[in-house]
Amino acid sequence: MSAKLEAMSKGERLLRMRHSASHVMAQAVLEIFPMAKWAIGPAIDTGFYYDFDLPRPLTPEDLEDVARRMQETVRRGDAFAQRFVDKEEARRIFAGQPYKIELIDGIADERVSLYQQGPFLDLCEGPHVERTDQIGAFKLMSVAGAYWRGDERRPMLQRIYGALFETQQDLDQHLHQLEEARRRDHRRLGRELGLFTSAEEVGAGLPLWLPKGAAVRRILETYIVEEERRRGYQHVYTPHLAKVELYQRSGHWDHYRDSMFPPMVLENEQLVLRPMNCPHHITIYGAGQHSYRELPVRLAELGTMYRYEKSGELAGLSRVRAMTLNDAHIFCRLDQLKDEFLGVLDLIREAYRVLGFRDHWYRLSLRDPADTEKYVQNDAMWDEAERLLHEAMDETDLEYVDAPGEASFYGPKLDVQVRNATGRDETVSTIQIDFHLPERFGLEYIGADGQPHRPVIIHRGVISTMERLMAFLIETYAGVFPVWLAPVQATFIPIADRHLDYARAAARRFIEAGLRVEVDDGQERMSAKIRNAQLQKVPYMLVCGDREVGGGALAVRTRGGQDLGPMPAEAVLRRLLEESKPGAEST
RNA sequence: GCCCGAGUGGCGCAGCGGUAGCGCGGCCGCCUUGUAAGCGGUAGGUCAGGGGUUCGAAUCCCCUCUCGGGCUCCA
């Protein structure tokens, strides 16, 4: 490494290495396809990519060929040389390269920057390393389709992704992390642990919860409903469909129709599956009279809803077409808004603590000023809601980032983004301030002045949809659920047939006490039963043999591999009950 | 939805023009067992579905469905 490179921060150096590698890759691809058109090739988090317009799809063999050619360029150690030309000259150089021409047209300056290494000349601002032998350790990972400029109406290009790190050791570590992510993947663990499944005949994006997955879900639902009850929420039940008129009134029909299943037409009405629960809850609020004294009204429901997600967007449990949201709508006065917002935030933080979510950040999702058509038209309302959100957030000690363009169609929101096993962020919690729907539905409360006033609605989801939550939990714990969440908390393991009755009677006691246990009454050896329980990540294995049967004991083994020896059955039961409280640490 | 790749018994895989195989699991039997796999036997597949090419297709081609990696979109 040169002194100049060494003087840089590691981040700056990596950026240059990765960006330089993308040029080296483009050179290799052009050697193979001289007629190729090439687009852009930036550095990304873990490496780099470059987009190409090629005469045929790339194969894995092509990637090997590209990598080989890249190594040759690296070996030569060609210098990266920058030079500047005026736009006219640049257009001549990149004649026949429509993507480059478009990029040139988009540059404000009259002068554009070019970089050359060996025979390869590219439109590029840099920066780069000095020579091609300084790009570090890389591996070409995959070929993917990507729209030119991320616009689905524009041509689909072929993108080659590469991973790149400073040293082979760093690269190996990264590849190892990817391997680890695959090991934690909720789709794989969901099958191995018997949590959920899907069936071609049922349909894409329509998961089926197996008994063990359903057990975990029930615990989560019970936990959150109880937590909400303590915080003054009232739970309701509402149907999963409604007349299309309801969504015309709410505005979903105008702004959200692409994500809705088409209407079912029968007799004289059209019914649609609901994509959101708010209209139903709003209708409940609107069905009665409300005094300012009874606000806020907090209506909650584990609301099942249906969204038509494009087929290519579906993914395991984290992106589905039928989902149940931990939903609630808070109807309050303007002067209560901030407290209610902070109350929801507090609930979110408490839930994350209990669930063990650590890696998350706060995103203030605002309207995109450049594309206001996507949203309901009411500038004053948007400005006020966004101002209030900022104000409320600034009152907390939380850091957050503004994200223009991420708002919901009816209002801005605070999203809590959680990082999953594959390193991708997804929204788990959301708090939305809504001045719009109260207007559309003519909602009112009677104020102290005896006059009708308009309430504000806070839409909020705390633990997300049960589907996405399940996916996160599986990945967070790599399937090793804490005792309070484990679908099976203990497996009783009788050593021989003569211990079966004892094991069953003991298990009965545990079940009556509210615990989730099983008896492994198979014909295998004890050690095979232990192995099975280990693979299923059952927290406790309770061995029943001659030594235990006499004294009312259970030989306790933890899934951590610890043999705790015989313990009184009652002591084990108490311990399990203690660890079954929401958020309890498992030993 | 778009680009690329993949679908073989419940699961993991082999076979890639000439009559469908392995491991795990399942079932039956034997063993009666002490902290991560006891032994033996046996059943189970319209090779995702449909169409085509061929004397012959799991293998080649086309369409559909599902899954995966991305893009766009999103809880």
d(CA A179, CA A145): 23
Tell me the angle at which helices A569-579 and A500-512 cross, rounded to the nearest 10 degrees: 40
Q: How far is the CA of A200 from the C1' of B47 (A)?
A: 17
| Better-scored residue on pLDDT, A380 or A147 | A147
pLDDT over threshold 90, residue A380: no
pLDDT tens, position by position, A123-148? 998 899 999 999 999 999 999 999 99
pLDDT tens, position by position, A493-504? 999 999 999 999
Asked if A106 CB < 7 A from strand B, the reply is no
Fold of A490-579: Rossmann fold (3.40.50)
Percent of chain A scoring above 70 in pLDDT: 100
Domains of chain A, by residue range, sit at: 3-174, 219-314+324-465, 490-579
Question: What is the reported pTM?
Answer: 0.93
Amino acid (one-letter) located at A497: D
pLDDT tens, position by position, A149-196? 999 899 999 999 999 999 999 999 999 888 888 889 999 999 999 999
Q: How far is the CA of A179 from the C1' of B9 (A)?
A: 29
pLDDT tens, position by position, A276-322? 999 999 999 999 999 999 999 999 999 999 999 999 999 999 999 99
pLDDT reported for residue A372: 73
Percent of chain A scoring above 90 in pLDDT: 80
Q: How far is the CA of A197 from the C1' of B46 (A)?
A: 24
Asked if A534 CB < 7 A from strand B, the reply is yes
Helix (H, G, I), strand (E, B) or coil at A199: coil
Read out DSSP for A444-513? -EE-TTSSEE--EEEEEEEEEEHHHHHHHHHHHHTT---TTT-SS-EEEEESSGGGHHHHHHHHHHHHHT
pLDDT over threshold 80, residue A241: yes
Find the nucleotide nearest A205 (Cα to C1′): B66
Read out DSSP for A497-553? GGGHHHHHHHHHHHHHTT--EEE--SSS-HHHHHHHHHHTT-SEEEEE-HHHHHHTE
pLDDT reported for residue A371: 75
Q: How far is the CA of A322 from the C1' of B35 (A)?
A: 43
Q: How far is the CA of A179 from the C1' of B46 (A)?
A: 37
Which two structure tokens, joined as six digits, stand for A412? 């801005």
pLDDT reported for residue A426: 87
d(CA A329, CA A431): 10
Fold of A219-314+324-465: BirA Bifunctional Protein; domain 2 (3.30.930)
For residue A55, count other CB atoms closer than 10 A to its CB: 8
Q: How far is the CA of A142 from the C1' of B54 (A)?
A: 36
Which two structure tokens, joined as six digits, stand for A341? 């917002």
For residue A33, count other CB atoms closer than 10 A to its CB: 17
Q: Are A299 and A222 in contact (CB under 8 A)?
A: no
Find the nucleotide nearest A141 (Cα to C1′): B69
pLDDT tens, position by position, A344-377? 999 999 999 999 998 899 999 998 877 777 788 8
Q: How far is the CA of A130 from the C1' of B59 (A)?
A: 51
Q: Which of chain B's bases lie under 7 Å from a protein CB? A: 1-5, 7, 11-12, 26, 29-38, 48, 65-75
Q: Which residues of A spanning 484-523 put their CB closer than 7 angstroms to strand B?
A: 495-498, 522-523
A67: left (phi over 0), alpha (psi -120 to 50) or beta: alpha
Q: How far is the CA of A548 from the C1' of B23 (A)?
A: 37
Q: Which residue is nearest to nucleotide B39 (CA to C1')?
A: A524
Q: How far is the CA of A487 from the C1' of B33 (A)?
A: 28
pLDDT reported for residue A379: 84
Fold of A3-174: Threonyl-tRNA Synthetase; Chain A, domain 2 (3.30.980)
pLDDT over threshold 70, residue A441: yes
pLDDT reported for residue A1: 67
pLDDT confidence tier of residue A5, bands split at 50, 70 and 90:
confident
Q: Which residues of A spanning 466-485 put their CB closer than 7 angstroms to strand B?
A: 467-468
Q: Which residues of A spanning 424-443 put their CB closer than 7 angstroms to strand B?
A: 426-428, 430
Per the prediction, chain A carries an average pLDDT of 93
Find the nucleotide nearest A548 (Cα to C1′): B34
pLDDT over threshold 90, residue A259: yes
Q: Which residue is nearest to nucleotide B72 (CA to C1')?
A: A152
Q: Which residues of A spanning 182-211 put their CB closer than 7 angstroms to strand B?
A: 187, 191, 198, 200, 203-205
pLDDT over threshold 90, residue A483: yes
Q: Which residues of A spanning 259-298 put their CB closer than 7 angstroms to strand B?
A: 259
Q: How far is the CA of A263 from the C1' of B13 (A)?
A: 44
Q: How far is the CA of A61 from the C1' of B14 (A)?
A: 22
pLDDT confidence tier of residue A3, bands split at 50, 70 and 90:
confident
Average pLDDT over residues A50-72: 91
Q: How far is the CA of A155 from the C1' of B64 (A)?
A: 25
Q: Is A120 exposed, middle or buried (0-12, 13-18, 19+ CB in 10 A)?
A: buried
User: What ipTM did this prediction achieve?
Assistant: 0.93
Q: Which residues of A spanning 447-466 put their CB closer than 7 angstroms to strand B?
A: 461, 464-465
d(CA A270, CA A165): 57
In the beta sheet, which residues pair with residue A116? Answer: A81, A121
Q: How far is the CA of A306 from the C1' of B58 (A)?
A: 38
Q: Is A582 exposed, middle or buried (0-12, 13-18, 19+ CB in 10 A)?
A: middle
Asked if A531 CB < 7 A from strand B, the reply is yes
Q: How far is the CA of A404 from the C1' of B50 (A)?
A: 48
